[in-house]
A and B are shown apart, each in its own frame.
Chain A
Amino acid sequence: MDPECSRLLPALCTVLADPRQPVADDTCLEKLLDWFKTISEAGSSLLLLQENPCLVELLFQVLRPQDLSARVLSFSLRLAGIFAAQEDCFQYLQQGELLPGLFGEAGPVGQAAWTAPTVRSGWIQGLRSLVQHPSALHFLADCGALDTVFSLQGDSSLFVASAAGQLLAHILGLSMRGPAEGLPSLQAPDWPACAQKIVGHLEESLRSTAPPQVTQALNVLTTTFGHCHSPWTRVLWERLGPLVACLLEEDPLPAAHSLVDLLLSVARSPVLSSDCGLWETLAQTLRHLSPTQAGPLALGILKLQDCPQALRAQAFGVLLQPLACVLKAADQAPGPPGLLEGITGDSVTVDTLLSSKSACAGLLCRTLAHLELLQPLPQRPSPWPQAPLLGAAVTILRFCNGSAAPASDVGGRLCALLAGCVRVQRAALDFLGTLSQETGPQELVTQVFSVLLEHLRSPDSSATVLKKAFQATLRWLLSSPKTPGCCDLDPHTQLFLREVPELAEQLLRDPESYVRASAVTAMGQLSSQGLHATAASPEHPGGQQKSLLVELLRILSEDSEGFPRRAVMQVFTQWLRDGHADVTEDTERFVARVLQAASRDLDWEVRAQGLELALVFLAQTLGQPGSHCPYAVAPPQATLRSPPAQALQALCRVRLFEFAFRALFDCDRPVAQKSCDLLLFLRARTVPHSGPQEAGGSPDVVSVEAALQRWRAGEQGPPLGDLEPETVLAVLRSMDLEGLRGALAESSDHVEESPQSLLQDVLAAVGVLGENQADCY
């Protein structure tokens, strides 16, 4: 520990132990614990306590009957736990009978302070830190703390209840480690005492008729199987698995969510996944759960690496069922044979869908979200039923906006339930967007385009639906054939390709800045895909493109909000990277204009993005050797070649140096940092063999350095004008960029965040901040 901190520590402990001195800020106690934890992890806690006896005194203070605040009591419990995590320190504290006094029955457990959740939380967190070694396990068994942990599983505080469950899993894992490792027998007497007690408690809970108790047991087991993959967990499952399976026989199923979590956690465990009985239990559970509950389990099963094909098919069937019902209700064929076959007529699913509006919306939204998660995964089922899924999404959207007229009774009722249901519309549009990654039968794609256009044009669409429709539309556009206006496209698609960019262009002038920003990004992407020029007349090909560049430059220099300007910078950087036609026409002019606009911007992110663009230009101009990262300062010497003089001339012409030099002293640290990196990269590429040296002292160099001084002082000053490469190189050589980078890399509050500063603050705040502390903004 820092000597200065050591000096302050006794005063801190006195303040903490004094009930008349309220500690000003509860974050201070948290930060103190962080600090002690760091110290303990780095060295011996025993030594720390021996060198700073005030800490042990503080812990003893807690044992004395006095009106100590709940926060300090909680702090002390956690602190004791941190120290006792090391076995020698644990023994040291045990000598004074300190630990039973804190964590045993004589401690806060039986006192009035226990009613404060923060004390219970401190107690359990203290124990969690403490239980790291065999001595701690004996202590637990002796002091009766386990029973308290059991009861805290049902605590009124979520934090305490959850921590209690986690602690039990941790204790179980720890006690089975060591001598019991390997394969213990199924018989309880062979198990260590703590493990016996916990497993007994779990068994009892699983047999309980009270759902909360069952849930608690399932959660402890989920944590255990999720975190521990030792062989003994197999024995544990052999012992408790049958009890879990028994739960399936109950109606209604208790704690269905927790059961799903547990089964998936067991299935993911490498020790247990080869168990055939497990797959049977999973299959049985899938059949047992209601359609709403079964979704997460089905998705979890499909994500598993090794799982019997039959179970995968069953799980996929469960996921698809609600959509199959929708398709059937719309009197549509459920797709090519073999895809949705056999899962079309599940009456339970239909009943759920028709039971109420919220149940219907809930099931459909969940189903769509699960399939959306599944779609991009490599282990998704193959073949993927793209066509029926597209059909289902379109049908749902038509049910929602009232443009469907199903003849069937179920269809009619679904229509009534889903009419205007914004939640389902949003989910279906998201799903439709995901499906754009793959194409489908032309007829269906046409339907997709038409339903999307319906949503975009409809005055009834809510704002959030409109947004989702637009996003889905863009995804389809950007992944659809890149030959717009192609004569083999049907009229609908052609219309679509023409209308959407027009719509996006209108949104560039939307009153809402977020919308303008998104429109900028969309237009940038569309243009990159060559989809923006569709409306241009054949006589002036590219006429529209030009105007987009001009329009984006206008936004960059005129828009009053940061979001659209940042979006423009991102589009421009991407265009430069991709060699967009408008950029390559006159790259230097483009870069010069953008940098000029960015340098004047008040938004630090625009300036930082300007440096990003400058870096791309730099790499393109100087040529990037191999896969060398632009931020790496010292590339291998062998790859270095001096850049041609004209490359440096080009950088001078676009005024990249002035931009970077100004940014170096930017009042916003991230900008300065980025500029520093850029200049270091440049120096490494241009003056590889020379370290910092005196600048030549030419008049140009002197004037540049004078300007740098002014900028450093925060003055604006006139522009530098045209610079010669030699001048720039000389200035670069003379600068201590490494030193600057080191200074910038430190966080701006590293001094205030130091432990010493923390101790000073706690001590200084005593008795001063009383009145201010609750005063929040």
Chain B
Amino acid sequence: AGQDVGRSCILVSIAGKNVMLDCGMHMGFNDDRRFPDFSYITRNGRLTDFLDCVIISHFHLDHCGALPYFSEMVGYDGPIYMTHPTQAICPILLEDYRKIAVDKKGEANFFTSQMIKDCMKKVVAVRLHQTVQVDDELEIKAYYAGHVLGAAMFQIKVGSESVVYTGDYNMTPDRHLGAAWIDKCRPNLLITESTYATTIRDSKRCRERDFLKKVHETVERGGKVLIPVFALGRAQELCILLETFWERMNLKAPIYFSTGLTEKANHYYKLFITWTNQKIRKTFVQRNMFEFKHIKAFDRAFADNPGPMVVFATPGMLHAGQSLQIFRKWAGNEKNMVIMPGYCVQGTVGHKILSGQRKLEMEGRQVLEVKMQVEYMSFSAHADAKGIMQLVGQAEPESVLLVHGEAKKMEFLKQKIEQEFRVNCYMPANGETVTLPTSPSIPVGISLGLLKREMAQGLLPDIRKPRLLHGTLIVKDSSFRLVSSEQALKELGLAEHQLRFTCRVQLHDSRKEQETAARVYSHLKSILKDHCVQHLPDGSVTVESILVQAAAHSEDPGTKVLLVSWTYQDEELGSYLTALLKKGLPQAPS
């Protein structure tokens, strides 16, 4: 999804862990190009060894369509994470697509039903806000993303470093789903979709009203309305919309939904009612919104029934199956209407009619003249530019990376984000790698002894004033502890070595060494009043740990050499004292 809205598949390496985010396919191709080229992930070795896990954000095929291919044909055998609803619905869409693929090309080089089954068995389902420990170091957490049932954003965390991947999300609630939400989790990187990077979407109300008006008008004049949809997802939003409208207007024209799918959809929406929005959850006890009064199961014989009707049929792009069959039957009548609620790839009848083609060649050189009305009414649920900015503000990332959008629009949003949030924003193309330096903070335990000693110095801890703490860092079993050096010596069973600095200072003094030492003693004694200055019996002078000895010069009897040495701890005093002695001693009474 680098600078395009095709298949999403992002590889993140974070603190030595490799995570694949989504494993989507491109619906616009019928050959190998529909899947990401996984051979780029690792030239050597097995994917299972290289990847720590795969995360699927939601059940749309551009996010999960390549999964059975990846796990059963390419051979990835590690864990796959997704939410419970995604796990339940994903195989339905995969089966739907497989059916179309087989219908078009035969079974060659496409995953089998068995593979879908085996792939789904590798899935580990996660709950919202549950921290899942993939291994000792890697943890993931799902957040609600709106968009479609079960869609989630994921936080991936290793130590103090983290990445948030949004998948597709929607920041405004709709009729059956809530709005996306995330903690102020301050990730190092936020990877966000940017489908509507430059759009401030018109009011949803207007769009809905427009849709209902068009359906209503067609039905009123006795026409039939075809709405090609994918089995599950936005179709349910449209169903609720029509159901409510029919109820309110007391309409009688029948509404049908492709056979088998209504029951299935109902089943899943009931099962995952907690994933829908508050209103649906609240009214669920009295009335389940997904048990539609007006929407009935469709039988293919119904298409020829006289009179108005509305039919939701799969697949969504009019590229095969039931929706195409119905379209062929109804296309010739100008009273009818087809409403395309989503995007269509080239090579589908949906794409053709949306681009205004009205004479379609059919099998056997027949020409189908499309007289029915063709409408495009987007019901996809992505965050618009405002929503994306809102999410960035919510999560407060250190940097942002845009995916799943068009280059030109991304460019605009990138500038906006960089200006408003003062963070770096990236928009890599497919195949490009972005490297972000992080400064991971490493937690260190501090021993009680050391803390007590610091406290004894009297200063109370203050969060605004960082303080330096001296101690010995012990790294053991990949944990870090700061202890006093005495304790470190004890723990590690080591003997202490003393490091002393030494310095030679030459003095012009022809007297004996003992006398020079005595002069040094009295000089220091007079200056360093706060320090303990001692003259030892062996003739040397000490100030704290500093030792001064006087020696004769080997060549010049008129010169004495002062040997000064001090410990690391008394470095300051030692330097001061040396500088002092270098200036010479005061003239002694002769």
Contact = CB atoms under 8 A, between A and B. Distances in A.
Contacts of B409: 774
A193 B350 CA distance: 54
B490 interface: no
A116 B429 contact: yes
A772 B429 contact: no
Interface string B370-400: 0000001010101000000000000000000
A239 interface: no
Contact of A668 (B43, B103, B196, B260): B103
Interface residues of A, number: 81
Given A463-B124, A749-B319, A761-B355, A27 B62 contact: no
Interface string B111-129: 0011001101110100000
Contacts of A668: 99, 103
A605 B113 contact: yes
Q: Is the interface of A mostly helix, strand, loop or mixed?
A: helix
B113 A562 contact: yes
Nearest to A745: B106
Contacts of A566: 113-114
B342 interface: yes
Interface stretch (B44-52, B534-542, B568-576): B44-52
A714 B325 CA distance: 11
Interface in B77-105: 77-79, 91, 95, 99, 102-105
Interface stretch (B24-32, B210-218, B242-250, B578-586): B24-32
A712 interface: no
B111 to A, nearest CB: 13
B103 A764 contact: no
A451 to B, nearest CB: 21
A773 B352 CA distance: 13
B5 interface: yes
Given A26-B4, A667-B300, A562 B95 contact: yes
Given A369-B46, A776-B343, A777-B380, A751 B406 contact: no
B343 A158 contact: no
B281 to A, nearest CB: 23
B104 to A, nearest CB: 5
Contacts of B113: 562-563, 566, 605
Nearest to B344: A772
Contact of B259 (A602, A605, A765): A602
Contacts of B49: 362, 365-366, 369
A775 B43 contact: no
A64 B382 CA distance: 39
A777 B62 contact: yes
Contacts of B354: 768-769, 772
A528 interface: no
A722 to B, nearest CB: 26
Contacts of B43: 219, 257-258, 261
B357 A27 contact: no
A35 interface: no
Nearest to A752: B347
A429 to B, nearest CB: 11
A118 interface: yes
B322 interface: yes
A682 B196 CA distance: 57
B122 A464 contact: yes
A159 B431 contact: yes
A777 B363 contact: no
Contacts of A749: 104, 319-320, 347-348
Contacts of B233: 777
Contacts of A560: 267
Contact of B346 (A25, A157, A369): A25
B95 A748 contact: no
B418 interface: no
Nearest to B318: A752
Given A27-B26, A357-B136, A518-B121, A715 B301 contact: yes
B99 to A, nearest CB: 7
A769 B103 contact: no
Report which residue of A27, A716, A774 has the largest number of chain B beta carbons within 10 angstroms of its beta carbon: A774
Contact of B321 (A121, A157, A667, A758): A667
Given A158-B432, A757-B361, A774 B347 contact: no
Interface in A435-488: 463-464, 467
A135 to B, nearest CB: 31
A753 B62 contact: no
A464 B346 contact: no
A28 B352 CA distance: 13
Interface string A394-422: 00000000000000000000000000001
Contacts of B136: 357-358
Given A27-B28, A464-B79, A758-B346, A774 B103 contact: no
A764 B342 contact: no
Contacts of B168: 776
A365 B342 CA distance: 45
Interface in B427-478: 429-433, 478
A242 to B, nearest CB: 24
A77 interface: no
Contact of B378 (A369, A604, A761, A775): A775
Contacts of B521: none
B556 interface: no
Nearest to A22: B408
B388 to A, nearest CB: 14
A296 B137 contact: no
Interface string A275-312: 00000000000000000000010000000000000000
Interface in B343-368: 343, 345-349, 351-352, 354-357, 361-363
A209 interface: no
A602 B259 CA distance: 9
A238 B139 CA distance: 50
B555 interface: no
B228 to A, nearest CB: 12
Nearest to A762: B346
Contacts of A26: 4, 6
B195 A30 contact: no
Contact of B380 (A362, A752, A775): A775
Given A25-B345, A751-B362, A751-B363, A423 B135 contact: yes
Contact of A27 (B79, B346, B355): B346
B105 A747 contact: yes
A757 B361 CA distance: 9
Contacts of B349: 752
Report which residue of B124, B346, B430 has the largest number of chain A beta carbons within 10 angstroms of its beta carbon: B346
A750 B352 CA distance: 14
B60 interface: yes
Contact of B376 (A118, A747, A761, A772): A772
Report which residue of B6, B33, B43 has the largest number of chain A beta carbons within 10 angstroms of its beta carbon: B43
27 contacts: A27-B26, A27-B346, A27-B347, A31-B347, A117-B432, A261-B43, A358-B136, A423-B135, A467-B121, A514-B118, A518-B117, A518-B121, A667-B300, A668-B103, A669-B103, A747-B104, A751-B362, A752-B319, A752-B347, A752-B348, A752-B352, A768-B355, A774-B196, A775-B195, A776-B62, A776-B195, A777-B230
9 A-B pairs closest in CB distance = A27-B28, A159-B431, A764-B355, A257-B44, A157-B431, A117-B429, A765-B355, A776-B5, A775-B343
Given A116-B429, A747-B105, 20 more contacts: A25-B351, A27-B29, A30-B33, A31-B346, A157-B431, A362-B49, A369-B46, A518-B121, A560-B267, A605-B113, A667-B321, A670-B103, A748-B103, A750-B363, A751-B363, A761-B355, A768-B356, A773-B406, A775-B342, A776-B380
Interface of A: 24-28, 30-31, 70, 116-118, 121, 156-160, 162, 219, 257-258, 260-261, 296, 356-358, 361-362, 365-366, 369, 422-423, 426, 430, 463-464, 467, 514-515, 517-518, 560, 562-563, 566, 602, 604-605, 667-670, 714-716, 743, 746-753, 757-758, 760-762, 764-765, 768-769, 772-777
